[in-house]
Amino acid sequence: MIDINLIRTNPELVKENIKKKFQDHKLPLVDKALELDAKRRALIAEGDALRSARNTLSKKVGEYMKAGNREEAEKVKAQVKADAERLVAIEKENEEVDVALKKTMMTIPNIIADDVPLGKDDSENVELKRFGEAVVPDFEIPYHLDILEKLDGIDVDSARRTSGQGFYYLTGDVARLHSAVLAYARDFMIDKGFTYVIPPFMIHGDVVSGVMSFDEMENMMYKIEGEDLYLIGTSEHSMIGRYMGQIIDGKKLPLALTSYSPCFRKEKGAHGIEERGIYRIHQFEKQEMIVVCKPEDSDAWYEKLWSYTVELFRSMDIPVRQLGCCSGDLADLKYKSCDVEAWSPRQKKYFEVGSCSNLTDAQARRLSIRYKDDDGKTKLAHTLNNTVVAPPRMLIAFMENHLQADGSVTIPEVLQPYMGGKKVIKTV
């Protein structure tokens, strides 16, 4: 959510930003916000004036009664009563205007960074840099599900019977590899100076609306029936919600945190659940990075965060690239975002395995996450998040890039301690 002061002082900038995101249908929201803001301020001013006048009128009642002028006293009493009734009406109307203004403001997208490439959707994202040599072996690489099944590492048929499409059982060495990667990613981030956290896996609705846009919420979140609780789609949700309504000691910033969680997603919309495979599913596990920092530090943290994901994947001998997300591919709260994509030798192209975002103060404003600076002033913090690793997609990249001609899969050196020294997973 952006600052209402920006809309007051530079509405054209806000409208131009909406156009850059190809959301012209939201242009009327700027004028609506200005109208609601003006109405809210007028109601506040009227209420303040009535409260101020109430004391004066009350004194007049006493003066008239002392002077024996009962008729004038009754007139003033009537005015006091009318003003009190108007105050009640003002307070009710102001609450309604506040709700409407907040809803409008939460739908207006965050201002994007100057260097975000302009484009309508993810097809216009821009490759920024490649890391590692993208190799295609001289033997055919099967579909990832076929690789996993030959390793006796996955059972999707049973999962369809117990849970439906978009779920799976991992078994044996593949299940162990899944856990090994998460444990390695955890230790990798701890070695970078991040604090390890396991957060709640359910959150209240006010946290959900604070950390994400309405469209994301509708397409992603599972609600617990009859309760004000949602299953998290990523640990970012509960990690950022942890600081809701808090004033953090500025000396403690930045907060650099790495969190583990299962993730639950509806996956509604254009992509949906795959009929076969584990690229897009309803339930998976993930290691995440979260940073809460001062505004002047968020650009530098953004560069650090995505580079850590690159470093992690390269340590597992998986070629990757950084892809800059264009304006039309940015969720409304994002100031800037990039994807880390892994090389698929089977498809001979890259695919997303992580996403890094700087949200500036958009989440902090919604959730009132502030800090007290050295000068004693209270300011809004900046928040950032990034995927360390999400094993379902990582497993696809891992299997394809480490597959051998005989169907076995080699384990890179960094993971071998987490696999009991095992160096290869063989077919059954």
> What CATH number has the domain bearing residue 26?
1.10.287.40
Determine the pLDDT at residue 197.
98
The dihedral region occupied by 81, where left means phi > 0, alpha psi between -120 and 50, and beta the remainder, is alpha
- pLDDT surpassing 90 at residue 71: no
Q: Per-residue pLDDT averaged across 250-270, rounded?
A: 89
State if pTM tops 0.95: no
Query: What average pLDDT does the chain have?
Result: 93
Residues 245 and 270 in one domain: yes
Determine the pLDDT at residue 61.
65
Q: Per-residue pLDDT averaged across 311-320, rounded?
A: 98
Give the C-alpha separation, 186 to 196, whole Å. 7
pLDDT in tens, 331-362: 999 999 999 999 999 999 999 999 999 999 99
Structure confidence at residue 275 as a pLDDT band (50, 70, 90) = low
Structure confidence at residue 279 as a pLDDT band (50, 70, 90) = confident
Residues 197 and 53 in one domain: no
Give the C-alpha separation, 212 to 304, whole Å. 23
Query: One-letter amino acid identity for 118?
Result: L
pLDDT in tens, 192-218: 999 999 999 999 999 998 898 767 777
Give the C-alpha separation, 55 to 42, whole Å. 21
Question: Within a domain: residue 254?
Answer: yes
Question: Within a domain: residue 262?
Answer: yes
Determine the pLDDT at residue 414.
98
Residue 53: domain span = 4-105
To which residue do tokens 């303040």 refer?
48
- pLDDT surpassing 60 at residue 36: yes
Per the structure block, which two tokens stand in for 365? 């404003």
Determine the pLDDT at residue 123.
94
Question: Within a domain: residue 27?
Answer: yes
Residue 337 contacts residue 357 (beta carbons within 8 Å): yes
Q: How many domains does one find in the chain?
A: 2
